[in-house]
Each structure stands twice: as C-alpha cells, then as structure tokens.
Amino acid sequence: MKKELLSFIRYDTWATGMLIDAYRKAENPPAKTLETLAHIISSRYIWYYRVIGEPSPVKIWEDYKPEDLRKELKQITSLWLDFLRTLKDDDVYTEITYKNNAGVEFTTPLFQIIFHLHSHSSYHRGQVMTLIRPHIKEVPVLDYIVFNRM
C-alpha cells in the first residue's frame, strides 16, 4: 500500500503541474483558476501538517502568485514523499487524530487521508480544467493511467 500512496502523491504532483503549465499559457484565465490551483496546493500543506501534528503555516485558500505555484507544489511534494518514505508498510494504517478547519476532532487512518488528497485534487483539477479550457490552445491529458504509462 505504501508504494501506491507514493504513486498517488507523484501523480497528483504531475497532474497539478501539467495544469499549472496550462494555466500559465492561458489567455486571460478567470481569477478563480489561480485561487483553485492555490487551494489544491494549500490543502496538501494543511493535511501534511495535520498528519505530523503541527499547525499549518498556510491558509486553506492561500494566496499564491502564479510564478510561485510550481515552487510550492515541489516543496509540499518533497515533504509528503520524504515523510512517506520513512514509514514501514504497515504504518500507512496508523490512525491520525487531527482537527478540521472548524476545530472538530477526527481520527482517520493515514492511507484514507492520502486517498482523500488524491480525490480532492482530482475534483479541483476538474474545476480548473473547466475554467481554463476556453482560454487554452492545448488541453493537457491528466489521466492517472497516462501517468503510469510514462
């Protein structure tokens, strides 16, 4: 399972990076596009800090500049990958206790948190694609199966 979780993190990074590149090439993309891309990245930070039991240094809707998106994506990916690599295979079933943004406490297995990140990012990438499609010449293919064929 650890191997698959690492793959999900790598895929999310690749797909989000492809979308950032498309956004950067877009002609007059809607402002919501940048906000949503930033949210994908800030959510990964927030969940990382929940997992390690520390307060997040970023807001759920962090204000990133377009030129900072790739750097922030690379940074949070490194944090997640480094963390996951330190775990034993069975550690992915560890129960993580954290508080959500409303301050409500929950306990969730680590692997479910990673699955959530994967689906959360996919959901918002779909929103971004819908927003920028009319503003780009080339639509990136972001399928997980395409990533795995590379």
Q: Over pLDDT 70: what percentage of the chain?
A: 100
Angle, CA of 31, 36 and 37, to the nearest 5°: 100
User: Rounded CA gap, 94 and 109, in Å?
Assistant: 5
pLDDT tens column, 26-44: 999 999 999 999 999 999 9
In whole angstroms, how far apart are CA 29 and each of 14, 32, 52?
A: 21, 8, 36
Q: Residue 74's pLDDT band (boundaries 50, 70, 90)? A: very high
Q: What is the pLDDT of residue 121?
A: 97
The pTM (predicted TM-score) of the whole model is 0.94
As a whole number, the mean pLDDT across the chain is 96
**Domain segments of the chain: what residues?**
2-88+101-149
The pLDDT value given to residue 43: 98
Q: Does residue 73 contact residue 20 with C-beta atoms inside 8 Å?
A: yes
Strands 105-109, 95-99: pairing is antiparallel
Amino acid type, 23: Y
pLDDT one-digit tens code per residue, 112-122: 999 999 999 99
pLDDT recorded at residue 124: 98
DSSP secondary structure, 55-120, as one string: --SS-TT----GGGHHHHHHHHHHHHHHHHHTS-GGGGG-EEEEE-TTS-EEEEEHHHHHHHHHHH
Task: State whether CATH 1.20.120 applies to domain 2-88+101-149.
Answer: yes
Average pLDDT over every residue of 61-89 = 96
Residue 56, both tokens: 């997040």
Average pLDDT over residues 97-113: 96
Q: How confident is the model at residue 134 (pLDDT cuts 50, 70, 90)?
A: very high
Residues in the chain: 150
18-28 core/surface letters (b: 16 or more CB in 10 A; e: else): bbbebbeebee
